[in-house]
Structure 1
Amino acid sequence: MRFAKTPVRHIGEDPHEPLPRNEWPATLAAVRQLLDAGLDLGPATVLVGENGAGKSTLVEAIAMAYGLNPEGGSTGAMHRSRATESALANSLLLARNPGAGRYGYFLRAETMHGFFSYLEDNPSTTRADAPFHRMSHGESFLSLAEDRFRGGGLWILDEPESALSFTGCLSLLAVLRELLADGGSQIILSTHSPLLAALPGADIYEVGGWGLRPATWDGLDLVRNWRSFLDAPQRFLRHL
């Protein structure tokens, strides 16, 4: 019997640690759907949707359930500033693929400054890190992804476009596409960027009041809205 090389094949609720449906974040439709029905994972999963829909709550909890630091880093990172994460991770059960790599990395743009300080205070004994604090936000983010995302593992990114320019997003797409081509890597990405949502081969889910809705890139509200705005920005601006 052959098993997939990717780390996680399914996410569901731990029957021994159920999350009350009347308590946040189970009150979010996307979280409730994940707990009730579970979610099968392929090599790449992209979550898109408006602020407050639950994208970051989901990816943060998945990262923690996998053993990753909630403020970014690998399974060995210990950086913490202020605990704001939900209790969702305690109620998730990840079905792992036998023989797959157990390494992973979580990158979230909103906590990168503190995480860079942590890396600076806890330097690697086997390699020298780039001078992240002396680089631009986008340059440091890409440098870290290129350096840490190697070999098989689970790579989770939460709204990385906030650190990146248009060309920076394209560069990150190139890194992610190369990881998927090599096999053994698995990507979970939440984004507001139509560029990053175009990750080749990804399963796309639109997150909203309906829960998690499978979608195509062309069918995303995100893509339609950007196309409409770029075609006629004044049509939008006069209604502000």
Structure 2
Amino acid sequence: MFLRNIQLQREKIDSFSSYPFSIPAIRQFHELEITKPVTFFIGENGTGKSTLLEAIADKCEFNTAGGGRNNLYQVDSAASDLGDYIRLAWLPKVTNGFFLRAESFYNFATHLDQVEAEAMKPYAAYGGKSLHHQSHGESFLSLFLNRFRGKAIYLLDEPEAALSPNRQFTFLRILHDLSRNQECQFIIATHSPILLGYPDAMILSFDNGMIEPVEYEETDHYRVTKYFLQHREKFLNELFADDE
């Protein structure tokens, strides 16, 4: 564990009526203690989980379009609006890590093609070949298996976007191997009920206008998925009732 505390410097904010401070969970946010090596941010779209994750990445000096400190490229709308207003507390501080932004991963892969072309061992940290020459899921796993190591913090925004259910189980094993000796810390924004099942993780919900811890079985991800799998026909009949 490295990142221990996140604070919103509310005294620096002129108005809570403008984005991103107008987001209910951000508007109510004061301070957050991180107590587990693996932490999940959950919530409906627009609740602020990716906004806060992006701000943490910005404060870590990672590329907010995706990458680490040394990945210098730009993507439109990839800047953080919140990064200047949060304070991070470390024990100890680490500078190694990576920010995975699923929606701009293509741009990161293109950036790698440009910088790895003249390397002595191109793509050594990414499975030995261009991420563009792998399937979307394979490229994600190549990143996780080869780039992620050492004492580092990894910030992942919807890593399940490219992973099949079976590959999500593979990713859970990677999480276990990297975090079990507290060598790596993960903060992950996700909608996946599979990933959220990781044992002894901290789950923070951004729903209901605040950031608060929840148990796995209390999440909508678990309850809705469980209900659908157990009552699929009833669920679909209710969903399509207006079509009859």
- What amino acid sits opposite 1:93 in the alignment? R
How large is the Cα RMSD of the aligned pairs? 1.8
How far did 1:208 drift? 1.1
Aligned to 1:3: none
Q: Distance in 2 between matches of 1:235 and 1:15?
A: 47
The 3-state SS of whatever aligns with 1:157 is strand
How far did 1:29 drift? 2.0
Aligned to 1:120: 113
Over 3 Å counting, the alpha-carbon distance change for 1:97 and 1:16 in structure 2 is farther
- What amino acid sits opposite 1:69 in the alignment? N
Over 3 Å counting, the alpha-carbon distance change for 1:199 and 1:127 in structure 2 is farther
| 5+ residue gaps, structure 2 | 124-128
Q: Distance in 2 between matches of 1:25 and 1:72?
A: 20
How far did 1:16 drift? 6.6
CA deviations 1:182-231 (Å, max 9, x no partner) are: 32311100110011112222111122133112111111111000001111
The 3-state SS of whatever aligns with 2:153 is strand
CA deviations 1:22-74 (Å, max 9, x no partner) are: 1111111221233xx21111222101111111111111111111111111111
Equivalent positions of 1:18-167 (< 5 A) are 18=13, 20-34=15-29, 37-42=30-35, 43-98=37-92, 100-123=93-116, 125=119, 127-129=121-123, 130-167=129-166
Q: Distance in 2 between matches of 1:163 and 1:191?
A: 12
The number of equivalent residue pairs is: 232
Aligned-pair identity in percent equals 34
Residue 225 of structure 1 pairs with residue 224 of structure 2: yes
How far did 1:237 drift? 2.2
Contact 2:64 2:80 in 1 (8 A): no
How far did 1:163 drift? 0.7
The 3-state SS of whatever aligns with 1:177 is helix
Higher RCO structure, 1 or 2 (CA under 8 Å, sep 6+): 1
TM-score, normalised on structure 2?
Answer: 0.89
Contact 1:8 1:96 in 2 (8 A): yes
Q: Distance in 2 between matches of 1:152 and 1:222?
A: 31
CA deviations 1:114-173 (Å, max 9, x no partner) are: 110001101184642132111110010110111111011110100111110001111111
Q: Distance in 2 between matches of 1:71 and 1:19?
A: 27
How far did 1:91 drift? 0.6
Greater shift in the superposed pair: 153-162 or 206-215: 206-215
Contact 2:65 2:79 in 1 (8 A): no
Larger radius of gyration: 2
- What amino acid sits opposite 1:41 in the alignment? I
The 3-state SS of whatever aligns with 1:73 is coil
The 3-state SS of whatever aligns with 2:218 is coil
| 5+ residue gaps, structure 1 | 1-5
- What amino acid sits opposite 1:152 in the alignment? K
How far did 1:86 drift? 4.1
Residue 186 of structure 1 pairs with residue 180 of structure 2: no
Q: Distance in 2 between matches of 1:120 and 1:217?
A: 39
Contact 1:68 1:105 in 2 (8 A): yes
The 3-state SS of whatever aligns with 1:182 is coil
Contact 1:10 1:95 in 2 (8 A): yes
Aligned to 2:126: none
- What amino acid sits opposite 2:208 in the alignment? G
Contact 1:13 1:93 in 2 (8 A): yes
- What amino acid sits opposite 2:31 in the alignment? G
- What amino acid sits opposite 1:224 in the alignment? R
